[in-house]
Each structure stands twice: as C-alpha cells, then as structure tokens.
Amino acid sequence: MTDHPSLRSWRGNRTRRDIEAFVAAVTEGPDAVPVEERIAVFDNDGTLWSEKPMPTQLHYVVEQWRAAAELHPELAERQPYRAAVSGDFGWLSTAIDKHYAGDDSDLTTIIQALVGLTDGMSVEDYARSVEDFYRTAQHPVLRRPYSDAVYQPMIELLRYLEHHGFTCYIVSGGERDFMRPMTLSNYGIPPERVVGSAFGLTWDDTDATVRYSSSLAFFDDGPEKPVRIWTRIGRRPLFAGGNSNGDTAMLDFARRGPRSGFAMLIHHDDPDRGDTPYDAGAEKALAAASDSGYTVVSVRDDWDTVFPAPVSDAGDA
C-alpha cells in the first residue's frame, strides 16, 4: 500500500501512463525542472467540477436575479431575469456555449446583470453571501452538495502533482471571489492561488473597506488566461488542464514553452455516471487537440470513478 498520493481513480491506460511519465521526466534525474518552476494551472468549471446544466456561479446568480425580480417585477420582462424566474436554464447554458463559439451577445447581457448584483457591496459581505450559498446549495442534476460534485480523479491529480513538487493554481473564467470561499475545502488550493474573472474594486475610506464597483475589471477567458497567469504568477506553467475552447491559449502557454509542458483537455463523453456529456463549447479545442499536442482525457474511458462518494455514504461505509 502506497504512502503517497496516487491516481487510483484513473484507469491504468495510456492517459494515466502519459501523466506519470511526464511527471517523472520533469521531477527526476539530472534534467529535473527546479521545484520553483513546477507550476500547474487548471480551469475550474468542467475541469475540476461539473459545469452542466450550468456553471455553479450561474446557479448562485440565478437565485439573486430571481429575488431581485420578486422585488421589482418589471425586471422579469427581460433577460436574464426572465430566464431566472421561468427556470429557463437552457437559455443560460446556451449563452455560455455561444460565447465559446465566438458570440458574446447573450453573455454581455448576463455580465451586465451580474455586475449589478455586487455594485457597492463590500468584499466581506459578498464572501459571506457566497459561503451561505455553498452551505445549502445542491447540484440541480446530481442532487448533492457542490462539494460532492468535484471530479475525484482531478482531486487526486492535484495531490499527485503537489507530492512531486508542483504548485497548483486555479485559472478560470469564473469570478475570482466567487471561487475563493470554497477552493481550499474542495480542492486544497488556498485563495491566493485562485486566478479568475474579476469585478472592479474601489477603496471606501469612510469605513476602510474594499467594495465592488459597477464594472467588470476583466474576463479571464481565452487569450486573457495566459496574460493573467503571467501577471499573477510570473512563470509559464509546466502543466495545464482545461475543457473548453476558452482554455486553448492556456494549454498552449504550457505546451509551447521553452520546455514542452503537459496540456490536458477533459472530454465529457460519459452518459452513464451522472456527468452530463457535451461537446458544445469545446468543438474547436477537441478538433485541434491532436495537432496541438493536447492529451484528451475521456471521462468514459480514462476515469474509473467520476465523483467522490457522498459524505453520508462514506460515513456509513
């Protein structure tokens, strides 16, 4: 029995062997990469946990939009409030897929409404609101807490890389401060290693508080991801994982460096174990995977287990 992290939920096929071989090549022998240069970056939604039928943050804001429409019924006459009130998750999910296909018309509508929710709010109040959401919310399909909707093989990969001297970061299109309250408990990644989209911030000298403004500072997706990696980390990643068209620039940043890194693309292709299969929003990445040198991870073929056992089940074992 091993005393160090292993990839036990990964099937013992070529994908797992390729990961292990790469890690051995960059951590052992005279050509080992210095520990400080062993940087791994991972997208969040669809890479570390489930993002269908909609990203977790969208679930949170849908509840906020629904509450706003109850106070101001006229809002329900326009999107995205209409989708929130009617439960039209399809419109919301399609808006994300359209973004990955290059059409941001609906995403812009969502972002404008999203920014309005936090305008003037203190960073501490927002964190408490998000923590309250995580405490009670459940994945709408899996019917389990979001903490149990993480991908067990990816959690094992984080620990495996850390054991071999890697420092792991989250680099996501999701909003940074929405992720920070849960990344340590869900992934073992502290908030200072979370890179994501960000609302504008302002300093309120009257009560020495940082507050959100009415703007989006930046949207951390596509070409913005390597820019934010360099801004925050100051190093090119050696290992990168993503699942969508919006992750290819980050994967290329790792893959096409002075030393070729490992770039993995999660393919959601398993209809039988609770992980919604989809290619929408990942078509370009999947089509380019072979020529770009990405390792495509098949949920169906490469993962022996998808989600962790629910806490209640684990406690009964």
Position 317 scores a pLDDT of 38
Nearest to 224 by CA among 5, 43, 72: 43
Q: Which CATH architecture is the domain 14-52+144-316 placed in?
A: 3-Layer(aba) Sandwich (3.40)
Dihedral angle, C-alpha 149, 151, 152, 157, nearest 10 °: -150
Q: Which two tokens stand for residue 179?
A: 């992720």
Dihedral angle, C-alpha 223, 181, 298, 24, nearest 10 °: 80
CB of 282 within 8 A of CB of 244?
yes
- Domain ranges in the chain with CATH number 3.40.50.1000: 14-52+144-316
Nearest to 96 by CA among 108, 82, 83: 108
Q: Are strands 167-175 and 239-242 parallel, antiparallel or unpaired?
A: unpaired
| d(C-alpha 77, C-alpha 187), whole Å | 39
Check residue 190 and give left, alpha or beta (phi > 0: left; psi -120 to 50: alpha): beta
Mean pLDDT per segment of 10 residues, for the chain of length 317 residues?
Answer: 77 97 95 96 97 86 84 83 79 77 80 80 95 92 93 98 98 96 97 96 97 93 97 98 97 95 98 94 96 98 94 47
Q: In what order do the strands lie in the sheet with 194-204?
A: 209-218, 194-204, 167-175, 39-42, 239-242, 262-267, 295-298
Position 183 scores a pLDDT of 97
Torsion over CA: 172, 178, 183, 187 (sign): negative
